[in-house]
Amino acid sequence: MNVILLGKPGSGKGTAGIEIAKDFNFKLISTGDLLRQEKSSGSTIGKQIESIMDRGDLVSDDIINDIIEQELSKPLPIDMYYLFDGYPRTISQARRLDEMLNISAVVYFDVDDATIAERIEQRGKKSGREDDQDSDTTKCRLENYYNDTQPVVDLYENSDRLYKVDASKSAISVYLQIKQLINKLNKEEEEEDNGIY
């Protein structure tokens, strides 16, 4: 069962993703981490990514899709599935992912913009990430989210694969909501495989 974590920047996807991947034996694919790795590599594409990310803009679909495809081409143990954090962010990416993999569930982190802005600022102070401490960059990220990613949320909701969690709550509460959901979906999948439905 391949799962996507979807939500606004700073909604808690990264924090929950690490724990969920560990507990359910998922391979966690975080586009933020992959992009930061490329950015720090000093490659030509890394320099391109750096200037885009520093402005708070989204990296092009082509670059992201290529990076994801590279990750998916790596061997995966037979009992392991993928957990995506930060991908897909656009309709084009969502369609491309559906061509590459079967996605069973999309977990949407539901949280308001004011909480997001506060969290990102706090995260920036703790981590020293300059882009997180710039309110204009955060505003730009949220605008990009509404323009590009909200339609992805709608797409998955229309295909009955979207499950919402209340991400305004504590990290442990969000984690427990997702854990309960994945256990429920796993049980339903097992029952379907055993012909109970």
- What are the φ/ψ torsions at residue 114 (nearest 5 degrees)? -65, -40
What sign for the dihedral angle of Cα 51, 54, 59, 65?
positive
pLDDT < 70 regions, the chain: 195-197
In angstroms and rounded to an integer, the radius of gyration of the C-alpha atoms of the chain is 17
pLDDT at 196: 57
Q: Which two tokens stand for residue 159?
A: 């295909």
* Residues 6+ away with beta carbon under 8 Å from 88: 4, 94, 96, 97, 152
Whole-angstrom Cα distance, residue 176 to residue 112? 20
pLDDT attached to residue 124: 87
Question: Model-level pTM?
Answer: 0.87
52-55, Cβ contacts within 8 angstroms, sequence gap of 24 or more: 53/131, 54/131, 55/137, 55/140
Q: Give pLDDT, residue 52.
A: 85
In tens, the pLDDT along 46-81 reads 888 888 877 777 788 998 998 899 889 999 998 899
The answer to whether the bond into 9 is cis (omega within 30° of 0) is: no
Say what the pLDDT of residue 128 is: 83
What gap in Å lies between CA 41 and CA 61, rounded to an integer? Answer: 20
Please give the pLDDT value at position 5: 97
